[in-house]
Amino acid sequence: MKFNKKKFVYLISPSKINKNFYSHLAIIFKENKVSFFQLRLKKETIERKIIIGRKIKKICKKFKVKFLINDNVYLAKKLDADGCHLGQKDMNIIKARKIIKGKIIGITCHNSIKLAKTAIKNRADYIGFGAFNSSKTKKVKYRATINLLKKVRKMTKSPIVAIGGINSKNYKKLLLNKANFLAISGYIWNNKKLKPLEAIKKLK
């Protein structure tokens, strides 16, 4: 998987999509910092996810951003998305491969070297670690450290995605320690001080 160093943002959707969302998304993508966009809607019906997903896919295509679906391999296949992100309780990567073939599959590894080794062995396209900081988007069950990042980097050339409370004040440390992508959601969508465009501009 090739990647552009300047496009280090792995953007995750807000938990609710309102009608202003699509125009904000296009404006954010114009900044040319986002490589991946993940649709992560826990509370929507599958029908709504399909409608929303189709709209987002068009915007992603226009700006050459990879469009990924969280958790649901069948939805990724239905939308013909670029791939899927799987947590440890979601479908097994080997089964997922049979459904979406050569598409991107990323795996959450929390803060575990053991899980990372399994994901690498099963040829995950990227591995995700976190949380590196406290997060307002999700309760922090697992805490990952810079030290873990360094260890994993020695083990594999697979792209590493860091997640958890990442903002303009703490993001550089993760990039300097060889995280390839930073998964960001709350800092962009639920920022009390900055609009989405202002927030992304601070990530240089």
- The one-letter code for the residue type at 38 is Q
Residue 2 confidence (pLDDT): 63
Indicate the class that CATH gives domain 9-201.
alpha beta
* Averaged pLDDT, 161-175: 96
| Whole-number percent of the chain with pLDDT over 70 | 98
Residue 139 confidence (pLDDT): 76
* Averaged pLDDT, 187-197: 96
- The model's pLDDT over 99-113, given as tens digits with 9 standing for 90+, comes to 999 999 999 999 999
Residue 4 confidence (pLDDT): 72
Q: Are 127 and 104 in contact (CB under 8 A)?
A: no
Residue 34 confidence (pLDDT): 98
The pTM is what?
0.96
H/E element, 39: strand 34-39
Residue 136 confidence (pLDDT): 72
* Averaged pLDDT, 6-24: 95
* Averaged pLDDT, 127-147: 88
Q: What distance in Å separates the CA atoms of residue 6 and residue 8, rounded to the nearest whole number?
A: 6
Q: What distance in Å separates the CA atoms of residue 56 and residue 66, rounded to the nearest whole number?
A: 11
Average pLDDT of the chain, as a whole number: 95
Where in the chain are the domains? Answer: 9-201
Long-range contacts of 15-19 (CB under 8 A, 24+ apart): 15/40, 15/41, 15/42, 15/43, 15/137, 16/41, 16/43, 17/41, 17/44, 17/52
- The model's pLDDT over 66-90, given as tens digits with 9 standing for 90+, comes to 999 999 999 999 999 999 999 999 9
Residue 39 confidence (pLDDT): 98
DSSP state of 192: S
Residue 41 confidence (pLDDT): 96
Q: What distance in Å separates the CA atoms of residue 29 and residue 63, rounded to the nearest whole number?
A: 6
